[in-house]
Amino acid sequence: MPRAGLAPASVTAAGAALADEVGFDRLSMGLLAERLGVRTPSLYKHVAGQADLAHRIAVLATTELADAIRDAIQGRAGSDALVAGAHAMRSYVRDHPGRYAAGNAARVSGPDDPLVPAVERVLASWAAMLRGYQLAPDQEIHAMRMLRSILHGFATLEAGGGFQIDASVEESFTWMITFIDDGLQATTATRRALAR
Amino acid sequence: MPRAGLAPASVTAAGAALADEVGFDRLSMGLLAERLGVRTPSLYKHVAGQADLAHRIAVLATTELADAIRDAIQGRAGSDALVAGAHAMRSYVRDHPGRYAAGNAARVSGPDDPLVPAVERVLASWAAMLRGYQLAPDQEIHAMRMLRSILHGFATLEAGGGFQIDASVEESFTWMITFIDDGLQATTATRRALAR
DNA sequence: CTCATTGGCTAATGCTAGTAGCTTTTGAGG
DNA sequence: CCTCAAAAGCTACTAGCATTAGCCAATGAG
């Protein structure tokens, strides 16, 4: 019997690709094994089980998402950075719905969990982007949470087919980001006016 | 063997309660049967299977959510209605995370699916609330989608333990709703200024 | 060339959803 | 009060998926 040349990373990558195809909730060890041309028990030589596989996919997805957002924001500031970052995130979720679902389902297992730095990188990119708006320090956390809520909410509703009405989802997204941008600028402007 | 006096509605209600306790993803037929003091196969006399049970819980949750939002908005307008409706939704998801997850996982099965009118009632309440801001007609759909995104996103992130930093989640929510309210009012004001 | 390690396999276990078919309760109508 | 058909429980069983045990061949360092 010839070897398939698998490794934890390649199994994880194949699992992520499969999750994107069939949906994270339909991902099974048997299906993944079949896709890799191997029998189910062989997978256990590379990942500890389904929970481990899901967690590895989550780390992969979060890392990829962090990269995508960082690259999009790179060299931009203010509105440009917000628009670019937001679109990068939406694109990522649309292209990789299964991985993103894995990322949402994952829970941090301990202090050494590689998911922790991956999540921190995503948050750091958003924080860097928001810095361009020069918000009051005590408002940054609120703005950050709002941003995460709106982007995560839009992405998951879109992925779940939640936007049924026949109106451009693209247009709604742009409108929404403009709305947030205007509001953030107004928040800063108000603060400056009060400081005078 | 005495009868347990079950019915589709009571099985659904018990399933919803159990989902809230242990999480929607951990809900199983066996666990629900045990909770109801009955053997697993007996449940199939009342619901067609796990998929049917999940769908019934989704309909229940969506209906309850629609009621909660309608009651909160009742008799209020503008900012008051937004604040009340948003808080009602957040409270509902915090109190019933399992049901809400069932609602999110559900897909409309056909034109006679009772999930359809339930979802429509939720959307109708949000539409009624937004009417108080007197937005331009072509902006209403965008505002609606933004509102759904932000509330759904915040609720799911909160339910999933996504807000780790030691800052008041309550305060963030209030800040966020105020931000949206300000933006909606500014949108209307801008339109009025332009109309002059 | 040797041989320990690694990665594949088959076989078997256990858990969960779901089905078949039997029995008892229930309640409507004689 | 009796009859009896429908409904609601039960036990026993099947099927699918995750996982484990244990075997054997491929690999590569010495």
Res A158: pLDDT = 98
Res A117: pLDDT = 98
3-state class percentages of chain B: helix first, strand second, coil last, to nearest 5? 75, 0, 25
pLDDT digits (tens, 9 = 90+) for A151-162: 999 999 999 999
Average the pLDDT over A93-107 and give the result. 98
Average pLDDT, chain B: 96
Q: Does A76 reach chain B within 8 Å, measured CB to CB?
A: no
Which tokens belong to A47? 């990942």
Bigger pLDDT: B87 or B191? B87
CA-CA distance, A17 to B175, in Å (whole number)? 39
User: Please, which positions of strand C sit below 7 A from a protein CB?
Assistant: 6-12, 16-21, 24-26
Name every chain A residue with its beta carbon within 8 A of the beta carbon of B141. Answer: 165, 167, 172
Res B61: pLDDT = 98
- Nucleic strand C under 7 Å from the C-beta of B7: no
Å between B42 CA and C26 C1'?
17
Res B88: pLDDT = 98
- Cβ distance B146 to A176 less than 8 Å, yes or no, reads yes
Q: Does B31 reach chain A within 8 Å, measured CB to CB?
A: no
What letter represents residue A120's amino acid? E
- Cβ distance B176 to A104 less than 8 Å, yes or no, reads no
What letter represents residue B29's amino acid? M
pLDDT digits (tens, 9 = 90+) for B27-86: 999 999 999 999 999 999 999 999 999 999 999 999 999 999 999 999 999 999 999 999
Sign, CA dihedral B186-B189-B191-B196, equals negative
Burial class (CB in 10 A: 0-12, 13-18, 19+), B93: buried
Confidence bin at A196 (pLDDT 50/70/90): low
Q: Does B160 reach chain A within 8 Å, measured CB to CB?
A: yes
Residue B86 carries which DSSP code? H
- Cβ distance A142 to B175 less than 8 Å, yes or no, reads yes
Show which residues sit with Cβ under 7 A of nucleic chain D.
A 1-3, 28-30, 40-41, 44, 48-51; B 1, 3-7, 38-39, 41-42, 45-46
- Nucleic strand C under 7 Å from the C-beta of B159: no
pTM summary value: 0.95
Residue B43 carries which DSSP code? G
Which tokens belong to A151? 């982007």
Average pLDDT, chain A: 96
Res B196: pLDDT = 64
Name every chain A residue with its beta carbon within 8 A of the beta carbon of B162. Answer: 148
Are B17 and B27 spatial neighbours (Cβ–Cβ below 8 Å)? no
What percentage of chain B carries pLDDT values higher than 70? Answer: 99
Statement: residue A2 has pLDDT above 90: no
Nucleotide nearest to A46 (CA to C1'): C7
CA-CA distance, A114 to A94, in Å (whole number)? 24
């991985």: which residue's tokens?
Answer: A99
* C-alpha of A56 from chain center: 14
Which of A121-130, A139-148, B2-11, B187-196 has the lowest average pLDDT? B187-196
pLDDT digits (tens, 9 = 90+) for A111-120: 999 999 999 9
Bigger pLDDT: A26 or A3? A26
Sign, CA dihedral B20-B24-B28-B29, equals positive
Average the pLDDT over A72-94 and give the result. 98
